[in-house]
């Protein structure tokens, strides 16, 4: 897998009402799975929105540098305004007309073929998230940006949704996913970017970051970088600022 970037953020800042949400953020996104983690309000959703072109930075910029494609970037925000009266197939057919691709193939990829003719309003929360992932990947964009694709799901559906997102990555495709589920990040992410107070506190290959800080997993890495715990802190500790505190639903929009 190449380290040549698919997209780049350079010195990005974003303020809302004079309050800084992102400050001086630079990040390179190569092929593979990059997980963006951090406390609530650290700027994860804003960073992903800037990367996807949905949020205009106050300063700096985002640049897509991947291969030519009819749809270079696919994006799943935390809340997708699907029309509830449309079926799953009709929903993806709308996006496919804009971005290319086959809606039935996209449904099959996320395991929703049997629900193709069900109306969006009748789908479970987990199915809606899978439909959102299908929407973000229809047309095979080289950059897929997913904001909390597992939010509010039960453990089994979280694994399925995250695994489906990971399956979209490849030698020429980058998937950037924000998540509070550090176990899933530990199992699936190639790279990790940790945000804290609007800045990138650490970024790079997951295994290298863990090794540099003398921790065994992403939970320990989170503690070492954000909570400032000792490098030998174990992921099953329950004292102090434990990383399980980031396993939450209804996370901040910013």
**What are 133-176's pLDDT values in tens digits?**
999 999 999 999 999 998 878 888 888 888 888 888 888 899 99
pLDDT of residue 186: 95
The topology under which CATH files domain 7-67+142-228 is Rossmann fold (3.40.50)
Mean pLDDT (the chain, rounded): 87
Residue 1 has pLDDT above 90, yes or no: no
8 Å CB contact between 40 and 252: yes
Residue 235 has pLDDT above 60, yes or no: no
pLDDT of residue 205: 96
Return the minimum-mean-pLDDT range out of 42-51, 128-137, 177-186, 229-238: 229-238
- The structural domains of the chain, with segments of one domain joined by +, span 7-67+142-228
What are 229's two structure tokens?
């715990």
Instruction: Sort strands 73-76 and 143-147 into parallel, antiparallel or unpaired.
Output: parallel
Q: How far apart are CA 104 and CA 115, in angstroms?
A: 11
8 Å CB contact between 158 and 181: yes
Per-residue confidence at 251, pLDDT binned at 50, 70, 90? Answer: very low
Residues whose CB falls within 8 Å of the CB of residue 120, separated by 6 or more in sequence, listed in order: 82, 83, 84, 85, 86, 87, 88, 91, 128, 131
pLDDT of residue 176: 97
pLDDT of residue 250: 31
Residues whose CB falls within 8 Å of the CB of residue 137, separated by 6 or more in sequence, listed in order: 74, 106, 109, 110, 144, 168
What are 19's two structure tokens?
């309050």
Q: 105-139 pLDDT, tens per residue?
A: 999 988 899 999 999 999 998 899 899 999 999 99
pLDDT of residue 80: 80
Q: 196-212 pLDDT, tens per residue?
A: 999 999 999 999 999 99
Per-residue confidence at 232, pLDDT binned at 50, 70, 90? Answer: very low
Residues whose CB falls within 8 Å of the CB of residue 36, separated by 6 or more in sequence, listed in order: 44, 47, 48, 176, 177, 178, 179, 192, 193, 195
Using alpha carbons only, give the angle 148, 56, 33 rounded to the nearest 5 degrees.
Answer: 35
Residue 240 has pLDDT above 60, yes or no: no
Per-residue confidence at 229, pLDDT binned at 50, 70, 90? Answer: low
Return the minimum-mean-pLDDT range out of 16-20, 60-64, 84-88, 174-178: 16-20
């Amino acid at each position: 897998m190449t380290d040549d970037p698919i997209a780049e953020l350079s010195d990005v800042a974003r303020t809302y009402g004079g309050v800084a949400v992102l400050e001086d953020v630079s990040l390179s996104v190569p092929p593979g799975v990059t997980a963006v983690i951090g406390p609530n309000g650290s700027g994860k959703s804003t960073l992903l929105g800037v990367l996807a072109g949905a949020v205009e930075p106050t300063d700096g910029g985002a640049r897509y540098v991947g291969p030519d494609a009819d749809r270079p970037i696919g994006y799943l925000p935390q809340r997708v305004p699907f029309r509830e009266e449309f079926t799953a197939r009709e929903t993806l057919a709308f996006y496919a007309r804009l971005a290319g691709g086959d809606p039935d193939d996209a449904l099959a990829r996320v395991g929703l073929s049997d629900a193709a003719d069900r109306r969006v309003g009748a789908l479970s929360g987990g199915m809606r998230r899978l439909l959102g992932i299908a929407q973000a990947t229809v047309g095979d964009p080289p950059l897929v940006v997913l904001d909390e694709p597992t939010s509010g799901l039960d453990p089994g559906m979280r694994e399925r949704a995250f695994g489906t997102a990971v399956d979209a990555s490849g030698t020429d495709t980058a998937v950037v996913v924000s998540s509070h589920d550090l176990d899933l990040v530990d199992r699936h992410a190639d790279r990790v970017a940790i945000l804290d107070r609007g800045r990138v506190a650490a970024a790079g290959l997951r295994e290298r970051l863990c090794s540099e800080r003398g921790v065994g997993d992403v939970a320990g890495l989170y503690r070492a970088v954000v909570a400032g715990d000792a490098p030998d802190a174990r992921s099953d500790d329950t004292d102090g600022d434990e990383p399980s505190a980031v396993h939450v639903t209804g996370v901040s929009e910013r």
